[in-house]
Structure 1
């Protein structure tokens, strides 16, 4: 059964808060920040990893410095939502680097995509050449983000 964050004690929650923003923090520094000694902090960290609560560590990249400042959210409606069509769509999505996130939605459309490109012109090309060509796409609706208010934290 999945563990809920409110079922973790205060030390575990503090560990998760720190490592979610500073994954490369030394265990001694982490221990000092959460108010435990090194050994119990390290044991808790290993347990959180072993239980699959911490699934990995990776670098956060600045999309603006990488030339991907333009963010669009795209609603996608499919013509066919049988399992084979969904699997075909899901497979092709994986190969499009401009798609940062893809979520299947229960609602008036089938998928919500977060797409990052350099600018509106490059987004238009991605829409025309890649998104519209995805398997079983009936229609798309695009919403351009003007500002990210909150991203990436629990």
Structure 2
């Protein structure tokens, strides 16, 4: 199904305020509440809306340090990739893992309390990942811009 301009307005509004009431959403996109509700249900059923989540403050939760870890594996065989991917999903401090094209095979986004905590995560988890040949970590000094909203 193709998205029309109203679907895009609904998705844009919900990306910014996922807990917006249907009444507020319908007013924002100029639809009746019942028509708006039907559209949101359809967008959910068709998979455009995957889920609703709360975005938490990493600083308040004590994990203000973000580290990007580039990982190069020993090989590209399916069993090596599968073993790595299965193991990395079990590390709670890893927020994202991306299979890459380029110099690294994977890039991980890791959160930690500080550099000492990252050293613990590295020692207890990252250094034990299967198939790793090389690892390079880069600490984010400051987040300039962050969004979860996709361009519509």
Shorter-chain TM band:
over 0.9
Aligned counterpart, 1:153: 149
Alpha-carbon deviation of 1:80? 2.0
Look up the match of 1:47: 42
**In structure 2, which of residues 104, 109, 113 is the aligned counterpart of residue 109 of structure 1?**
104
Q: TM-score, normalised by structure 1?
A: 0.92
- Tell me which moved more, 21-30 or 71-80: 21-30
CA shift, 1:128, in A, is: 2.3
**1:121 aligns to 2:113 (yes or no):** no
Which of 21, 24, 29 is 2:24 aligned to? 29
Aligned to 1:58: 53
Alignment root-mean-square deviation, CA? 1.2
SS of aligned partner of 1:25: coil
Gaps of 5+ in 2: none
What stretches of structure 1 move > 4 A for 4+ residues in a row? none
Q: Secondary structure at the match of 1:132?
A: helix
Question: How far does residue 17 in structure 1 lie from its aligned partner after superposition?
Answer: 1.0
For structure 1, the 5+ residue unaligned runs are none
